[in-house]
Amino acid sequence: MLEDLKLLAQIQALDSQIDEREEKKREFPRRLIPFKEGAERIDQELREAQGDLEDLQKKRRHEEGELEAREIELKKYQRQLYEVKDNKAYAALEEEIARTKEKNEAAEEEILEFLEIEEGRIKGIKEIEDELREKKKELSREEEQAKQETEILDQEIAKINISRQKIAKRIGPSSLSRYERLRQGKGGLAIVPLEGSSCGGCHMNLPPQIVSEVKKGNRFVTCENCNRLLYRKER
C-alpha cells in the first residue's frame, strides 16, 4: 500500500478516537441540564413561596397596626365616659366603644388566622429549602463527576495527539493537507476502508475498476459518490 495512504488510515483511526472523546465531553453539559432545570424550578418555587409569605405578613402587620390604633382610641373613649355629663353623649360613646370592641375582636381573630397560615407557609418553605439543598448537592455531585471524567478524557486526548503528531511527521505535506480538507468537509471521516466492493463511508457499491485500484494500493483512490479516500484493510 502507498505509504502515505497507510499512515493516513492510522491518523484517521486516531482522529476518530479523539472525536469520540470530544463528543463525550460535549455530552456532559447536556447531561447536567435536567439537574440544573430541577434546581431552578425548585428555586423559583421557593421565591414564590417566600413572596406569598411576605405578602401575608404585611397584611398581618397592617391589621396589627390598625388594631393597635383602635385600642388607643378605645382607651380614649373609656376615659371620656367619666367626663361626659350628657346621657345622649354617654350613650353615643358606649355605642362607639361597642363597635370598636367588635372590630378589635374580629381583627384579633383575623390576626390569629394569619399567624396560623404563616406557620404553615413557613413549614412549607422549610421543606422547599430542604429539597433545594438536596437538588443543589445532587447537581454539585454531577458537576464534579463531569469534571473528573473531562479531565480523564483530556489526558487520553493528549496521549492520542502525541501518537498522531509522530505519524503526521512521516506523511507528505500535500497528502496530509488533502486529508485535513476532506476531514473538515466530511464530518471528520476523510479516509475509509473498502468493505467488499462498497465504500466504508457512504456504503455505495463501487465499480470493479475502482475496487481493483484500491486493492492495489498504488495511488490515492476516492469514492465516486462521497469523494472520501479509500484504502484496503490490511490483514
Residue found under cell 505535506: 173
CATH number of the domain encompassing residue 109: 1.10.287.1700
User: Taking the model in full, what pTM does it have?
Assistant: 0.73
Q: What is the number of domains present in the chain?
A: 2
pLDDT at 74: 92
| CA–CA distance, 24 with 18 (Å, rounded to integer) | 10
Residue range 89-103: mean pLDDT, rounded: 92
Mean of per-residue pLDDT scores for the chain: 94
136 and 89 together in one domain: yes
61 and 109 together in one domain: yes
| CA–CA distance, 190 with 179 (Å, rounded to integer) | 6
Residue 141's Cβ-side half-sphere holds a number of Cα atoms within 13 Å equal to 7
pLDDT at 85: 83
Count the neighbouring beta carbons within 10 Å of the beta carbon of residue 205.
12
**What residues contact 7, with CB distance under 8 A and at least 6 apart?**
167, 170, 171
Do 8 and 229 form a contact (C-beta atoms < 8 A)? yes
pLDDT tens digit sequence for 49-67: 999 999 999 999 999 999 9
Name the nearest CA neighbour of 167 among 154, 178, 176.
Answer: 176
33 and 142 together in one domain: yes
**Would strands 191-195 and 229-231 be described as parallel, antiparallel, or unpaired?**
parallel
pLDDT tens digit sequence for 143-195: 999 999 999 999 999 999 999 999 999 999 999 999 999 999 999 999 999 99
57 and 159 together in one domain: yes
Do 210 and 221 form a contact (C-beta atoms < 8 A)? yes
| Domain interval for residue 59 | 21-171
Q: Pick left, alpha or beta for residue 228 (phi over 0 → left; psi -120 to 50 → alpha; otherwise beta).
A: beta
Q: Which of 171, 195, 211 is the last residue of a domain?
A: 171
The DSSP secondary-structure symbol of 127 reads H
pLDDT tens digit sequence for 13-46: 999 999 999 999 999 999 999 999 999 999 999 9
Residue 61's Cβ-side half-sphere holds a number of Cα atoms within 13 Å equal to 6
How far from each other are the two terminal CA atoms of the chain, in whole angstroms? 12
pLDDT at 235: 64
- The C-alpha cell that represents 232 in the structure block: 484496503
132 and 176 together in one domain: no
pLDDT exceeds cutoff 90 at 87: no
Residue percentage of the chain with pLDDT more than 90: 89
Three-state DSSP string of 63-76: HHHHHHHHHHHHHH
